[in-house]
Amino acid sequence: MKKQQRILIIKHGALGDMIFAHGAFQAIRTFHAQDHIVLLTTPPYKTLAEAMGLFDEVWVEDRPRPLKNPIKCWKLFQRLAKGKFDRVYDLQKSKRTRFYLKIMQSFFNPCPLWCSKHVGADFAYTDPRQNQLHIYDRHKKLLETAGIREVPTPHAEWLQSDIKQFQLPKKYFLFVPGCSPTQPHKRWPADRYGAIGNWLVDQGITPVIIGRSEEKEAILTIQKICPKAINLMNQTTLFDLGPLGRGAVGALGHDTGPMHIIAVTHCPSLLLFSYSSVPEHYAPRGFKTEVIQSNNLRDLSIDVVEENLASIIFSNRS
């Protein structure tokens, strides 16, 4: 009988990247069906990763800085050494993981085989043009270097919860007006969401707003303009996004993790990208999604968004 191998996958985040990596996770699990797979991630994604059901263990680290936190770094490498891994799949592909590779090659005996974009890895995908590819294609070509030929697209069936508590109408549409607090240029003005909300109400569709306290001002603005919108601020979890997306007639939002999750549920989705987002690299692909890109989202008119929404909502109705 073939010896069971110990496999390490490194993927620290962020949320959208974790969703995009789901296909690669599935491919590695299939290729190493009988092996023991450990995912190394960061604390915010531990529960999410465990719910995927693809890993035997999920380890977390807080990415300590070698010069500022040498003791934490030492403890991390001690744990990795005790893991006695046979192979490492580096899906983070960062300067940090390049440092991990160098440490393992210098001090681990034996050093596990590495699959990475970094020069010096055993299975290295070092094409300088790789950053021009969609992230799915980057994962696919990286894994091909290690003999993994089939990489499925991500899915979100593993995101399950009971959304009956929200008592939503049969026809509802998701608004995800938030974005990173440090990237306000990614945000379409809230009053325009409100105008779209009233247009949806005229079509017999109820807007449902999802977000956190950080988006409170935008959410309240939307609800003031469109009083029939349902406000679920601070009431939903990431696991709710699965069934919410599967039940919605559509969704509108920005280049954010929650919108990428909703898109992966095959919910007809319109994503609004600013100058800092590259649809060719990061837009959900293979789903019922459309993208509008504008250098400044404040220049994007209500009419253009309404026209695109009408196309994706009504063309996807049975």
Domain ranges of the chain: 6-144, 164-315
> Which tokens in the block code for residue 301?
């008119």
CA distance 57 to 299: 47
> Class of 164-315 per CATH?
alpha beta
CA distance 135 to 220: 35
- H or E segment to which residue 192 belongs: helix 190-202
**In Å, what is the CA distance from 37 to each residue of 113, 208, 237?**
14, 38, 27
Helices 216-225 and 190-202: crossing angle in degrees, nearest 10, is: 40
Q: Say what the pLDDT of residue 79 is.
A: 97
Q: Say what the pLDDT of residue 185 is.
A: 79
Please, which residues bridge with residue 289 across strands? 269
Q: Say what the pLDDT of residue 1 is.
A: 66
CA distance 268 to 246: 9
Contacts of 248 (CB under 8 A, 6+ apart): 172, 173, 174, 208, 262, 267
Backbone phi and psi for residue 309, each to the nearest 5 degrees, phi listed first: -65, -40
CA distance 260 to 282: 9
Q: Say what the pLDDT of residue 316 is.
A: 55
CB 55 within 8 Å of CB 38: yes
**In Å, what is the CA distance from 47 to each residue of 25, 40, 43, 80, 185?**
15, 12, 8, 21, 30
Q: Say what the pLDDT of residue 12 is.
A: 97
Q: Say what the pLDDT of residue 2 is.
A: 79
CATH code: domain 6-144 is: 3.40.50.2000
Q: Say what the pLDDT of residue 315 is.
A: 75
Identical fold, 6-144 and 164-315: yes
Can you give the pLDDT of all 318 residues of the chain as single tens digits? 678 999 999 999 999 999 999 999 999 999 999 999 999 999 999 999 999 999 999 999 999 998 889 999 999 999 999 999 999 999 999 999 999 999 999 999 999 999 999 999 999 999 999 989 999 999 999 999 999 999 999 999 999 999 999 999 999 999 999 987 777 778 999 999 999 999 999 999 999 999 999 999 999 999 999 999 999 999 999 999 999 999 999 999 999 999 999 999 999 999 999 998 888 888 888 788 999 999 889 999 999 999 999 999 987 554
CA distance 22 to 153: 8
Does the reported pTM lie above 0.85? yes
